Amino acid sequence: MKIGIIGLGLMGGSLGLALKHIKLVSKTCGFDHNLSHCEEALKLGLVDEIVKFSEIKKCDMIFLAIPVEAIISVLQNLKDIPKNTTIVDLGSTKEKIINSVPKEIRSNFIAAHPMTGTEKFGPSAAVEELYHDSIVVLCNMDESGDIHKNRAIQVFSHIGMKIVFMEAIEHDKHASFISHLPHALSYALANSVMGEEEPKSILLLAGGGFKDMSRIAKSSPLMWKDVFKQNRKNLLHSIELFEKELNKCKAIIKEEKWEELEKWMSNATTLHKIL
């Protein structure tokens, strides 16, 4: 198969590297609006060649590795693809994207969310093993054609991913807690510290805990702004539940109920029995 990748940053670039090792793929073509990304992707060997958007349409499979709002926009320009061309989006939200797919190409479309990534972005952030041993969620597959389902499952399996099937509504609800909320908290932590502390003090005193929690605040604001926008309702709900727990902690500390605080903390540690 000839694979087209639109978006040559972390996700698209890492996919290009992973696809080089599977026999299903004969060639990888890349497209990105950022010309420097195209040049860097070629230099790093993320794809075999850079092509125009019109050429991407001729590929057997097209992966959309771009911000979620851009995915919706690009889908409108793919209405004229051949019936046998498979389109796979790699966005972090699913319901709004699925609802925006033109009816002419709905059977061609596979809604996928690889549950992987790093805080880095751009072609230089690409990692060959990014997808290996990670989960990919495929949503609303009953609306996709058989040839496209089989292709997506084959490709994701061959690059070492574990496949989970889910409805888009459920996906977005779960993603708001396990992916989107942590990013919101990390950005909030970074902003609160930067607003109060001198940079020199941060560098001197920042330990592992702060670095771990603030790490994902380095993620692309452009990408995450779009994710928050598309999953607004679910994210607001998850933030409200978090605020409730944080206020509980605040009240316990204020009232100096230390045994109750320990129980509250102990309850939280049980999460790691699940993970």
pLDDT in tens, 74-110: 999 999 999 999 999 999 999 999 999 999 999 999 9
pLDDT at residue number 225: 95
Which pair of structure tokens corresponds to residue 77? 């320009």
- Over 70: is that where the pLDDT of 273 sits? yes
CA–CA separation, 94 and 168 (whole Å): 5
Q: How confident is residue 117, by pLDDT bands cut at 50, 70 and 90?
A: confident
Asked if the 171-274 domain carries CATH number 3.50.50.60, the reply is: no
Question: 96-120 as b/e, with b when 16 or more CB fall inside 10 Å?
Answer: bbbeebeeebebbbbbbbbbbbbee
Q: What is the pLDDT of residue 275?
A: 59
pLDDT tens digits for range 185-238 = 999 988 887 776 666 666 666 667 777 788 888 888 989 999 999 999 999 999
**How is the chain split into domains, by residue range?**
2-166, 171-274
Mean pLDDT calculated for residue range 148-174 = 97
CATH numeric code, 2-166: 3.40.50.720
pLDDT of residue 1: 94
Q: Please tell me the number of Cα atoms within 13 Å of 243 on its side-chain side.
A: 8
39-84 pLDDT per residue, tens: 999 999 999 999 999 999 999 999 999 999 999 999 999 999 999 9
DSSP string, the chain: -EEEEE--SHHHHHHHHHHTT-TT-SEEEEE-S-HHHHHHHHHHTSSSEE--HHHHTTSSEEEE-S-HHHHHHHHTT-TTS-TT-EEEE--S--HHHHHHS-GGGGGGEEEEEE----S--SGGG--TTSSTT-EEEEE-GGGS-HHHHHHHHHHHHHTTPEEEEE-HHHHHHHHIIIIIHHHHHHHHHHHHHHHHS-HHHHHHH--HHHHHHHGGGGS-HHHHHHHHHHTHHHHHHHHHHHHHHHHHHHHHHHTT-HHHHHHHHHHHHTHHHH-
Banded model confidence at residue 14, pLDDT cuts 50, 70, 90? very high
Q: How far apart are CA 81 and CA 55, in angstroms?
A: 11
Whether 2-166 shares its CATH topology with 171-274 is answered: no
Does the pTM of the predicted model rise above 0.75?
A: yes
Whole-number Å distance between alpha carbons of 155 and 31: 20
Residue 11 predicted with pLDDT over 70: yes
What is the structure's pLDDT at 126?
95
Mean pLDDT for 131-152 is 97
* pLDDT at residue 254 greater than cutoff 70: yes
pLDDT at res. 219: 87
Average pLDDT of every residue of the chain: 93
Please give the structure tokens belonging to residue 25.
């793929």
The share of the chain scoring above pLDDT 70, in percent, equals 95
